[in-house]
Amino acid sequence: MQVVATVGRNEALEKRIQSQFPTVQFTFLKKMKEIGENRYTAEILVTYGEDLDEKLINEMKNLRWIMVMSAGIEKLPLDAIKKNHIIVTNARGIHKIPMAEFVFGYILQYAKQLPLFKKQQSEKVWNRKVHLQEIYGKTMLVVGAGAIGSQISRYGKTFGMHTIGINRSGKENPDFDATYSLEQLNHILPEADYVISVLPNTVSTNKIFSRQQFFKMKKEAVFINIGRGNAVDEHALMEALDEGQLAHAFLDVFEKEPLPADHPFWKSDKVTITPHLSAISDMYLPRAYEIFVKNLWNYVNKENNWINLVDLNRGY
pLDDT at site 135: 98
Cα gap 23→125, rounded to integer Å:
65
Start-to-end C-alpha separation, the chain: 27
Q: Do 82 and 100 share a domain, yes or no?
A: no
Active site residues: 228, 276
Q: Which of these, 123, 32, 45, 40, lies nearest to 81 by C-alpha position?
A: 45
- My answer on whether 70 and 150 are in the same domain is no
| pLDDT reading at 241 higher than 90 | yes
Residues 43 and 134 in one domain: no
Whether the pTM exceeds 0.75: the reply is yes
Q: Report the CATH number at residue 33.
A: 3.40.50.720
Tell me: cis bond preceding 275? Omega within 30 of 0 counts: no
What pLDDT digit, counting tens, does each position of 121-174 carry?
999 999 999 999 999 999 999 999 999 999 999 999 999 999 999 999 999 999
Residue 9, pLDDT > 90, answer no
Residues 149 and 192 in one domain: yes
- Cα gap 112→99, rounded to integer Å: 20
Residue type, 90: N
Number of domains in the chain: 2
For the chain, give the mean pLDDT: 96
Nearest-CA neighbor of 190 among 212, 172, 167?
Answer: 212
309 assigned to some structural domain: no
CB 158 within 8 A of CB 181: no
Would you say residue 245 lies in a domain? yes
Confidence of residue 24 (pLDDT cuts 50, 70, 90): very high
pLDDT of res. 71: 85
What is 238-288 written as a DSSP string? HHHHHTTSSSEEEES--SSSSPPTT-GGGG-TTEEE--S-TT--TTHHHHH
Residue 307 lies in a domain: no
Domain of residue 184, residue span: 96-273
pLDDT tens-digit readout, 63-75: 999 999 988 888 8
Same-domain status, 151 and 168: yes
The separation between CA 132 and the C-alpha centre of its own chain, rounded to angstroms, equals: 29
- What residues are paired with 141 via a beta bridge? 164, 195
95-130 pLDDT per residue, tens:
999 999 999 999 999 999 999 999 999 999 999 999
E strand segments, the chain: 2-5, 25-28, 44-47, 65-68, 87-90, 139-143, 162-167, 178-181, 194-197, 222-225, 248-251, 271-273
- Indicate if 104 and 251 belong to the same structural domain: yes
Average pLDDT over residues 278-303: 96
